[in-house]
Amino acid sequence: MKRFKSGYAAIIGRPNVGKSTLLNKILGQKIVITTNKAQTTRRRIKGILTTDEAQVVFLDTPGVHKPMDKLGEFLLDEAKFAIPDADVILFVVDATEPAGKGDKWIVKYLLKTEIPVIIVLNKSELIKNPAKKEEIVISYKTLFEENLPTVKVSAKTGRNIDTLIDNIIRKLPAGDLIYGDDEVTDESMRAIAQEVIREKILLNTTDEIPHCVAVKITDYTEKENIDAIHAEIFVETEGQKGILIGKGAGMLKKISTEARLELEKIAEKKVFLNIQVKIQKKWRNDPKKVQKWHSV
């Protein structure tokens, strides 16, 4: 009889390689916000997969890139701090292009570790030429001294997700349940609300807005039939505030409505959502504000 296994899998990679989309596909539901903007994920988020033979606690992390400000340093730390806790590391890469400087930097500074690493080639369905596909695989494998397992997946279609899960479970130690067998995340509704609001901002804005925005839930009151949420959006300039509010407050209303409707689906009840937009100059270079606005 097989012994039950349990442990942690850290998801590491450059921005926009599909780490959060992959986690949502593995879990079969959305627990992490996803957009095509850099810095969509800003802190470690746990996703929990429980099968008959194992429980895997995934640690989704921000995309790794060279930090340019205190926010960038915080994002890098969120990825770095996930690694020592892990029993296995998923190095997620973009299978449509060969390894680049960013991938080499991650391997050199983060993945020189005794923890087992699996190279996960996402978006593999987009490359049809077998020779080109193999050339790309080799470019990632040669970043490491040892011969690491590789799994070609599609976070979009779910291709080879079962194979990836099997590879992860093989690396886990024997152990008991870490979380309840019906849990998929340890995120609170307060944290989920903060992320959903930020996702709607990212989806509805362009230019510098996605990078300069922080969201803080100032009050979350749960009642039997309705949840009341009060949130603040922080930007750095009057111009950014004007873009977020929009003509006749149209943009802010759109963001609020989209966020409220999604939160009602998650909470399975009515939600009252009030959002204010405030200016906090140069907050991305203030370590106290970066920490405060990205913790829940």
DSSP state of 270: E
- Same domain? For 129 and 48 the reply is yes
Q: Is the pLDDT of residue 140 over 80?
A: yes
- Same domain? For 61 and 100 the reply is yes
Structural domain includes residue 181? no
Could you give the number of structural domains in the chain? 2
Structural domain includes residue 25? yes
pLDDT for 237-272, tens place per residue? 999 999 999 999 999 999 999 999 999 988 889 999
pLDDT for 93-102, tens place per residue? 999 999 999 9
Window from 10-14, 220-224, 269-273, 283-287 with minimum mean pLDDT: 283-287
Structural domain includes residue 178? no
Domain coverage including residue 14:
5-171
- pTM confidence score: 0.81
Nearest partner of 141 among 185, 187, 193, 95, judged by Cα: 95
- Same domain? For 116 and 147 the reply is yes
Residue 65's domain is classified under what CATH number? 3.40.50.300
- Same domain? For 227 and 167 the reply is no
Mean pLDDT of the chain: 88
> For residue 63, what pLDDT is reported?
74
**Which residues lie below 8 Å from residue 46, measured CB to CB, with a gap of 6+?**
57, 58, 59, 60, 185, 186, 187
Structural domain ending residue among the three candidates 171, 204, 227: 171
- Same domain? For 120 and 235 the reply is no
- Same domain? For 20 and 84 the reply is yes
Do the Cβ atoms of 94 and 123 come closer than 8 Å? yes
- Same domain? For 194 and 262 the reply is yes
> For residue 82, what pLDDT is reported?
84
Structural domain ending residue among the three candidates 171, 205, 237: 171
Do the Cβ atoms of 198 and 213 come closer than 8 Å? yes
- Same domain? For 67 and 120 the reply is yes
- Same domain? For 101 and 166 the reply is yes
Residue 254's domain is classified under what CATH number? 3.30.300.20
Measured CA to CA in angstroms, residue 277 lies from 38, 84, 85, 130, 189 at distances of 22, 37, 37, 50, 21
- Same domain? For 201 and 262 the reply is yes
Q: Is the pLDDT of residue 183 over 80?
A: yes
- Same domain? For 80 and 162 the reply is yes
Paired strand residues for 233: 215, 277
- Same domain? For 17 and 152 the reply is yes
